[in-house]
Structure 1
Amino acid sequence: MLKILGKTSSVNVRKVLWTCEEVGLDYLQEDYGSGFTSTETDAFRTLNPNAMVPVLLDDEFVLWESNSICRYLARKTGRRDLLPAEPQACAMVEHWMDWQATEFNNAWRYVFPALARKNPAFNDPKAIEAGIKEWNHCIGILEQQLQRTDAFAAGDTFTLADIVLGLSVNRWKMTPFEHPQVPAIDTWFARLSQRPAFLRHGNNGMA
């Protein structure tokens, strides 16, 4: 059985759990991270030198980086609907997954701990304002893409891109600040919310 190390309050852990359920793999999840078993140990750093969650254990195979784990799970189970074999279709899915990891997630690095976590170390009004502007800019990019597809992030069908972006948009929606109108995202988000695994791991009241 697969083992996933990471606390379920982590947005990156939840995307892996959601993917496991979409592909029909049984797994054992163990809480690691702040408030749980520490990742700051030699044993854990042997698994992931970054001391971050999630980490996937598949027998002797060890993998970290949440989007890489999601890709691995789709390929392991032959789910070409989630990660196509055809080069251009696959590139489009991975394109949006990479954007989520490099641009979209970085946009909320200051805003989320400031407004959602109420972390006193993040209390610079100008930094918060700049972060909201950048986060909403990224939301605008996704809104335009979903207007074009009128369906899912990478095209007509549900893919891994929707899993990783769905978790990020859930975090945006749940962070308290004034949000612009995004009708295409709202329609897409409602479509995701029809999936039982998303209700458990994405749109579940946790940011």
Structure 2
Amino acid sequence: MKIWGRANSINVQKVLWAADECGITHERTDVGGAFGGNDQKWYLDMNPNGVVPTINDGGHVIWESNSAVRYLSAKYAAGTMWPNDPGQRSDADRWMDWQLSTISEPMRICFWGLIRTPPEKRDMAAIKRAAEDAGRLFGRLDGWLEGRKYVGGQHFTMGDIPVGCFVYRWYALDIERPDLKNVRAWYERLTMRPAYAKHIMIKLT
């Protein structure tokens, strides 16, 4: 399987983590950001949105990171990462969608403000507000995780991957955070997974 995208992109990280969890041998090519290439015809022919990642699995091209995680889980880890039970699968699915619709924006403000903006240009008031919003939103996840080891129940599923990428940044960024015991316990479980340590727990750039 081929993956196009830079390793410091959170969306590429989702796919790399999922691929390793599924035991898929893959080849990654740096594209996007400082590497460029995502505005070139050869790339746009695969992914008309011009963003990363894009994957090619035996001739089948997939873009949109959460869709790629679902695809890999369904094809290579059905019954585990892709729950067979529709109810359990909906639990995993909804937190994948929650990552896109809810937690991404405040975390984007924190990340870009603190990591990709020079100190003299940072809007610290906006970063503080975003951190507070993220803390409140992660509080919802904390409530859901009461009595659960993972977002989909008692076992690791595809649902842990998108939010798990963001929770690493949540703990790695220099921001104030509420004490969320269930989120912390879940995060610590994720840190024990080799693929998480390899692809997610890296220096923020």
State the TM-score, normalized to the length of structure 1.
Answer: 0.91
Question: Is the contact made by 1:110 and 1:122 (CA closer than 8 Å) also made in structure 2?
Answer: no
Secondary structure in 2 aligned to 1:82?
coil
Corresponding residue number in structure 1 for 2:173: 175
**Counterpart-to-counterpart distance in 2, 1:46 and 1:146:** 41
> How big is each residue's C-alpha offset from its partner over 1:49-71, in whole Å with a ceiling of 9 and x where there is no partner?
21110001123211101111011
Secondary structure in 1 aligned to 2:34?
coil
Secondary structure in 2 aligned to 1:63?
strand
What is the CA-CA distance between 1:172 and the residue it aligns to?
A: 1.1
Question: Is the contact made by 1:4 and 1:55 (CA closer than 8 Å) also made in structure 2?
Answer: yes
Gaps of 5+ in 1: none
**Counterpart-to-counterpart distance in 1, 2:135 and 2:120:** 22
Question: Is the contact made by 2:89 and 2:152 (CA closer than 8 Å) also made in structure 1?
Answer: no
Corresponding residue number in structure 1 for 2:83: 84
Gaps of 5+ in 2: none
What is the CA-CA distance between 1:119 and the residue it aligns to?
A: 4.6
Question: Is the contact made by 1:7 and 1:13 (CA closer than 8 Å) also made in structure 2?
Answer: yes
Question: Is the contact made by 1:6 and 1:54 (CA closer than 8 Å) also made in structure 2?
Answer: yes
- What is the percent sequence identity of the aligned residues? 33
- Tell me if 1:145 matches 2:144: yes
- Tell me if 1:54 matches 2:53: yes
Corresponding residue number in structure 2 for 1:192: 190
**Counterpart-to-counterpart distance in 2, 1:28 and 1:183:** 37
**CA 1:190–1:101: 2 relative to 1, 3 Å:** same
**Counterpart-to-counterpart distance in 2, 1:122 and 1:106:** 19
Question: Is the contact made by 1:116 and 1:176 (CA closer than 8 Å) also made in structure 2?
Answer: no
What is the CA-CA distance between 1:125 and the residue it aligns to?
A: 3.9
Secondary structure in 2 aligned to 1:160?
coil
Aligned AA (1:153)? V
What is the CA-CA distance between 1:121 and the residue it aligns to?
A: 9.7
**Counterpart-to-counterpart distance in 2, 1:122 and 1:101:** 27
- The root-mean-square deviation of aligned C-alpha atoms, in Å, is 1.8
**Counterpart-to-counterpart distance in 2, 1:121 and 1:16:** 34
